[in-house]
A and B are shown apart, each in its own frame.
Chain A
């Protein structure tokens, strides 16, 4: 191709025969699209090196500047449901006992639940991250310190503290921490004292009896004078009958009793 070029140029004007350099240059080297990586012209290599991508590099990395975004977790429907359930529990039941729960075998847990169910006490497992916000906003703020680590709630509409304590004594893995009975917060000692109290009917009966003690004595008090007189007279008659014709009847003891 060099000889052809020289031949064409030596003629004087290079475009005389309609000779295009582009067509002639194609014969040298490979086509544009090759299977191998075609070697680039050095000037092209230099151009590619000059026009490479330069990444932005600020003086202070953005990692140091932006404050760490605290992730605000969305309320899922499940969490809302659990919260509703906790609120219902606190509203519906009269006795709520909070116990610490250590892991116990499954069958023991089922047995404990069974025994408590007989006294109408339900066992509820609660998650602290749900219960804490609910309590913080309600009136049970003072129960908050109890809800740390794993706990269970024993809830019941009736007040059967003695039976509950008896069952819990047989289960070493569950320890009573405190209770909220009739909106009164009691500690462990308080619950034990509460359990020692007699049941409501008995104490009601005792109060009624105590109140009605004095009125019941009124009639006997009023009757005491005549009863004493009657007793003395009877004694006198008995002595007279026992003595036969003996001593005459003695009015002074009757006068002295009437004087009373």
Chain B
């Protein structure tokens, strides 16, 4: 307020104290650090499996929502995680988090899919190669790890981005609120799209005979997925 001479003296007002966050409803698991994942499952597989790349394609149906933690890494593309990736995640998160106040849990199973590799320098033919290593398949939209505890998103973000950049597929650190916001925005985008022609409409109506050039899977994927890639900018 201006004084009697019209002189205003700028100064700080009352300090408003924000209440500290309430961590009362957090349940810690028995082991706060990430479990060690085996390179090879306890019963190694004898029969070699066909490639089945459909376990990479399309949106994920499992582990799409948070269970225990508040923050996690969301996969934005499909890919295979092998033992090296698991060790990297386990060690980076174990090194950067405080086991007394934070916990982390796996949202992907241990590697169980056998991947064969022929020895180097041989010609084609001679049958399928022997099993080389085991991997887990991850589809887009799946959570890889979850982190929780008495911590804020800002504390967890640095090492989660570090991990997310090293994964074989594009990944993003998320919190419960940011994931919900992302899904809301997607929905809003879908609703307020001004383009009357959508991929879904064209495919379901087979307009202009487009299905000749599209896969039958495109009915389900609706133009948002291409191979293992997730096209985030598409509606």
User: Quick check: A38 and B226 within 8 Å, CB to CB?
Assistant: yes
Q: Is B101 an interface residue (CB 8 A)?
A: no
Q: Mark A143-169, 1 if CB is under 8 A from B, else 0.
A: 001001110000000000000000000
Q: Mark A78-95, 1 if CB is under 8 A from B, else 0.
A: 110010000000000000
User: Quick check: B223 and A51 within 8 Å, CB to CB?
Assistant: yes
**A88 → B minimal CB distance (Å):** 18
Chain A contact-residue range equals 20 to 34
- Known A44-B214, A52-B195, A53-B235: A33·B4 in contact at CB below 8 Å: no
Q: Which of A37-61 contact B (CB under 8 A)?
A: 37-38, 40-41, 43-44, 47-48, 50-57
The chain A residue with its CB closest to the CB of B11 is: A150
List residues of chain A with CB within 8 A of the CB of B229: 37
List residues of chain A with CB within 8 A of the CB of B213: 41, 43-44, 47
- Chain B residues with a Cβ closer than 8 Å to the other chain, count: 38
User: Quick check: B17 and A78 within 8 Å, CB to CB?
Assistant: yes
Cα distance A148–B78 when bound, in Å?
64
The chain A residue with its CB closest to the CB of B233 is: A53
List residues of chain B with CB within 8 A of the CB of A78: 14, 16-17
Q: Is A216 an interface residue (CB 8 A)?
A: no
User: Quick check: B16 and A76 within 8 Å, CB to CB?
Assistant: yes
- Known A40-B226, A44-B214: A149·B199 in contact at CB below 8 Å: no
The main secondary structure of chain B at its interface with chain A is: loop
Q: Which of A118-142 contact B (CB under 8 A)?
A: 127-130, 132
Pick 28 A–B contacts, CB within 8 A, sort by A: A32-B227, A33-B53, A33-B54, A34-B227, A34-B228, A35-B228, A37-B227, A40-B226, A44-B213, A47-B199, A48-B223, A48-B234, A51-B199, A52-B235, A53-B234, A53-B235, A54-B194, A55-B194, A56-B192, A76-B16, A78-B17, A82-B14, A127-B14, A130-B14, A132-B1, A145-B3, A145-B4, A148-B3
Q: A37-B227, A53-B189, A57-B194 are in contact. List 6 more A-B contacts (CB 8 A).
A: A32-B53, A33-B56, A51-B199, A52-B195, A53-B195, A129-B14
Interfacial residues, chain B to chain A (CB-CB below 8 A): 1-4, 9, 11, 13-14, 16-17, 53-54, 56-57, 78, 189, 192-195, 197-199, 202, 210, 212-215, 217, 223, 226-229, 233-235
Interfacial residues, chain A to chain B (CB-CB below 8 A): 31-35, 37-38, 40-41, 43-44, 47-48, 50-57, 76, 78-79, 82, 127-130, 132, 145, 148-150
